[in-house]
Amino acid sequence: MDVDLRKLRYFVAVAERLHFGRAAEALHIAQPVLSRQIRALEEELKAQLFVRTKRATELTPAGEQLLADARPLLASAEALRRRVARAARGTDAFIVGFMPGLIVTPAVRALRERHPGLTVEVVRTTWDDQVEVVRDGRVDIGYVRLPVDQRGLRIRPLLTEPRVAVLPADHRLAGKDVIDIADLADERLLQDPDAVPEWRDIATELRRPGGRRPEPIFHAVEEKLEHVAAGHGVVVLPLSVVSFYTRPDVTYVPIADIPPNQVCLAWDSTRRSPLIAEFATIAADLQGDTAPSPEP
């Protein structure tokens, strides 16, 4: 049986929203059409994917499994489309993703010098899309900050750097040489707590009845720093990020008892590209890494 990618996209849209009406709106199709497509997919797979009641739409165990498998499959299909389109245009380009605070220029320049006819481009990523841009083909290789979902990826460690608490300049902890993560237990964290599991495990606001944190959570570095400066809460970031975005109304303090942030290279594990292998070796050599080179 061949799985229809269009039906999979429709399924993912519903599964992510758990609402047929909102999914249909996002897909720009009529809700009855979407419902028919989902029923057709269930018939093809011989499995019920959703339980629908008057009050809610929920995934069945089969639906949960399909969602886990469908996302990387759709990303791979999109990556294939991008690479084929690039080849059809005759565009000889290599694209590198990078997270805020990381300087990738030396490795990019070295690859350009080795391949004068090659266009090497860079794409700034975020905590939310640093892995997705690799999976869907927007970049050939990415500098990522762990933790990330490593399924379908090859990961090569590059470096580690300390993590610091970013605080308003007049915060009670400002000026200290070092703090422990427990000192932030009563603070409002302005980022996804999964990015700082050490805080998540001891946070006062997550230990209240229900264990749910208030919204919103901010994603862009600039947005986080604006809200820190305004006194709305704190964030925990790698040292290089804070150093890059220096501003007088925000300060930072090293956190002694949490592990450093790990910076790695990540690329699609199914690809056997000599350029990816070469760039990974260049980047690692520039960091003094003597690990074996990846297979081309």
Q: What is the full per-residue pLDDT of the chain (296 aa) written as tens digits?
A: 677 889 999 999 999 999 999 999 999 999 999 999 999 999 999 999 999 888 889 999 999 999 988 888 888 888 777 777 766 665 578 999 999 899 999 999 999 999 998 999 999 998 889 999 999 889 999 999 998 989 889 999 999 999 999 999 999 999 999 999 999 999 999 998 888 999 989 998 887 665 555 566 777 899 999 999 999 999 999 999 999 998 999 999 999 999 999 999 999 998 888 999 999 999 999 987 434 444 44
Cβ neighbors of 174 (< 8 A, separation 6 or more) are: 167, 168, 251, 253
Contacts of 65 (CB under 8 A, 6+ apart): none
Q: Number of H helices and number of E strands within the chain? A: 10, 10
What does the alpha-carbon distance between residue 238 and residue 28 come to, in Å, rounded to a whole number?
A: 40
pTM reported for the whole predicted model: 0.70
Tokens of 16: 């992510």
Separation between Cα atoms, residue 254 and residue 100, nearest integer Å: 19
Q: Which residue type, as a one-letter code, is found at position 177?
A: D
Residue 237, pLDDT score: 95
Please report the pLDDT score of residue 1 as a whole number.
61
How many residues are present in the chain? 296
> Would you state the pLDDT for residue 229?
96
Given this model, what pLDDT does residue 210 score? 58
Residue type, 150: Q
Q: What is the DSSP letter of 179?
A: B
Prior bond of 216 cis (ω within 30°): yes
- Rounded distance, CA 123 to CA 286, Å? 20
> What is d(CA 173, CA 278) in angstroms, rounded to the nearest whole number?
45
What is the C-alpha separation between 296 and 277, in angstroms, rounded? Answer: 5
Domains of the chain: 5-73 (1.10.10.10), 92-159+261-286 (3.40.190.10), 163-254 (3.40.190.10)
Q: What is the pLDDT of residue 120?
A: 93
How would you classify the pairing of strands 141-145 and 119-124?
unpaired
pLDDT at 88: 67
* Cα–Cα dist 38/4, whole Å: 11
pLDDT recorded at residue 294: 47
What pLDDT is attached to residue 190?
A: 92
